Structure 1
Amino acid sequence: MTTADRAIRSNEPPGTCENITVAELRELVCKGRDSWWTVLLVDPVALRLVRWTDRHTEVTPDQVTWAALALGLGAAGCFTQGTPGWLLAGALLYHLSFVLDCVDGKLARLQDRRSLFGGWLDFVLDRVRVACCALALMGGQWLLGGDPGYLVLAALVVFLDMFRYLNGLKVAQIRAVMRKQITEYEAAQQGDSPLPVVELTERQLPSVEAVDVHQGFRHRFPWYAEYRTRLVDLRIRPHLVGGIEFQMAVFIVGPVLGQIVGVTLVTGAALVAFELALIYKLLLSTRDFDLTVGRLVPAGAVLPAPAGAPVTESGGWRTPVPE
């Protein structure tokens, strides 16, 4: 693999990839917002692994994904033994597995090898890893002590992990649909370029005109904008206990501290609390969405239907009437 090939894939001038700094690589391949565990504890290592892998190997992102799964299954094997030493080994392997799980996406972005199938594969294998490790960790404790409550805990871990990621995907999908429909409704009404739809809790340039679909949330929680801005400036998402933090607590912190049950229950409760907050924020956003659409087009007006919008018998779309 030549330097020119790498430069083309990463949209950088020839030779840049050979001498790219960690800071430059971070700007190139890291997400704008990520889990605090990832940003603080994983990215410093993962970025250097990405750079080394791109410079010195022919390894593909999908191969890294499979390697992450292999380490995750190794962690599961350690967890089945149940004793403190094996739990520590399992926690270490799980952390290394997660590091590789972060490397694959960054490597794909650097090499411009992102694909729909790769995203699907990464998501599915992550769920397989979590399920196997949950059953192994809790099953190992059940075999040692005979407490069937560990089996219930295993099911709870798998359920919460799936709920978090499916809920996150659906919330993101609904928000994308709202943004798209508002811009299309506005364009259909005015016949010109629609207003950009953004979350006004982001930093914005004063000159940018935007449709605000978060007025209700900002009105109820005025402190949130500053809280969110401070975290986003550090690349940390405001959702402080999400799927990643939950996994790390269950499969690393709990086994290392010897407090598997307590850590799992406390972190699980925190995960549920943050998910409920996310759902509540979505509820307020949908109300703002209805009000915004009602202002863009008079109630009852029929216009050509934007993609995904409800279609009336006449072939147009009908705006909702705000309560």
Structure 2
Amino acid sequence: MANFTLEDVRQRTYKARDAWWTVLLVDPLASRLVRFTANRTNITPNQLTVGALLLGLGAGASFYLHSWPWLLLGALLYHLSFTLDCMDGKIARLKGTGSIFGAWLDYIFDRVRVLACAILLMGGQYAATDNVAYIWTAVAVVFLDMLRYMDALEIYKVRGQMRKKLDTANEELAGLQLLQRRLAGEVDPAVAVDEPTADKVLGADPDADMEDQVLGDNPNAALQESFNKKFSWYARIRNVLKAGRIRPHLISGIEFQMGVFIVAPLVAAVIPGAIIPVVVLSALGMLAFEFVIIYKFWLSSKDFTRQIAKVDRKIADVRDQLPQEMLEEPLVRN
């Protein structure tokens, strides 16, 4: 058996920044369970993913029974389900056993869990009250969860395209400027010009992970220039939260889910009829932060247009100053 320590788990599996719910309410338990699971069992990440789904379905079944003891049990089971869901990725990172299929399975089962729990939670309340508002609330929860993921994936893709295009243009400009200095005798002709490659462009930004790219939260990136100028105070808040591993996107999809499937049932167990108000507040909080992401993305798109135009002008100026035969020379790699 392995002999991973708690410090190993923290160093190898904790994200640099995560949702505050995960950091404060899940990681302290999940890290200890990960150490035990990794050291004492042969449980795989995919098995944990399946276990998380089963617990989630158990939470949904409890929700459907709708009386206050079952609502409390459902909330507890959902929290344990999410804890297992966090554990599968941690085990994969700790042991190096992650896979593409495992990532897909985790994503699909997460969506199934949300769908099932939304239907069963609101369906149970509808069965108890005949209030059709619960049906519409279930539809809204599933829609918002789907919309959030679709929006994140699209922003991730477009930001990546913008960054790749800008990096490629900057490398072309750097190569041409090197040719210009070579022509002026400032650089030894033997010094090679480095051609841009797809791998190099994609790896150019150390904040290339999906979350940072979606949030647009790299303080040094050219595509965040407008936002950083408009909201200079934001960096101070981000840095304070970052010190505690908490991301500034305070109400993300995770907090939305917890608001719907943990906070709402807990409150409803004490105050009947509280589920819809709590869900509405959770949704409004998530949408507010999603609009911030969209606003930052809009500013980034304007930064991109301005930056790429500036680089293209510089490329054209340098090309005009270089002999045609020099431009036609093949570039030599280092």
TM-score range, shorter chain: 0.7 to 0.9
Whichever residue aligns with residue 20 of structure 2, its letter is W
The DSSP-based 3-state class of the residue aligned with 2:168 is helix
More helix by share: 2
RCO higher in 1 or 2 (8 Å CA, sep ≥ 6)? Answer: 2
1:111-150 to structure 2, matched below 5 A, reads: 111-150=95-134
1:48-197 correspondence runs (5 A): 48-191=32-175, 196-197=204-205
Measured in 2, the distance between the counterparts of 1:82 and 1:270 equals 25
- 2:130 is aligned with what amino acid? G
1:233-262 deviations in whole A, cap 9, x for unaligned?
Answer: 211111111110001011111111112111
The alpha carbon displacement at 1:202 in A equals 4.8
The corresponding residue for 1:216 is 226
| SS at 1:113 equivalent | coil
Structure 2 residue identity aligned to 1:225: A
CA contact (8 A) 1:61 1:108 kept: yes
SS class of match (2:131): coil
2:314 is aligned with 1:291: no
Match of 2:255 in 1: 245
Q: Percent identity?
A: 45
Residues of 1 paired with 2:80 and 2:94: CA distance? 21
Aligned counterpart, 1:10: none
Given the two structures, how large is their TM-score scaled by the length of structure 2? 0.79
Q: What SS does the aligned partner of 1:290 have?
A: helix
Cα distance in 1, alignment partners of residues 46 and 168 from structure 2: 37
Q: TM-score, normalised by structure 1?
A: 0.82
Highest Rg: 1 or 2?
2
Measured at CA, do residues 153 and 201 of structure 1 come closer, stay the same or move farther in structure 2, by a change above 3 Å? closer
Query: Alignment partner for residue 265 of structure 1, among 261, 269, 280?
Result: 280
Specify every segment of 5 or more residues in structure 1 that has no aligned partner in the other structure, as ranges.
Answer: 4-17, 204-209, 302-323
Structure 2 CA distance for partners of 1:50 and 1:197, relative to 1, 3 Å: closer
Partner of 1:256: 266
> Is residue 80–residue 137 contact of structure 1 (8 Å, CA) maintained in 2?
yes
The structural deviation recorded for 1:184 is 1.3
Native 8 Å contact 1:201 1:229 kept in 2: no
| Structure 2: unaligned runs, 5 residues or longer | 176-192, 208-215, 269-273, 317-334
- In the TM superposition, residue 169 of structure 1 has moved relative to its aligned partner by 2.1
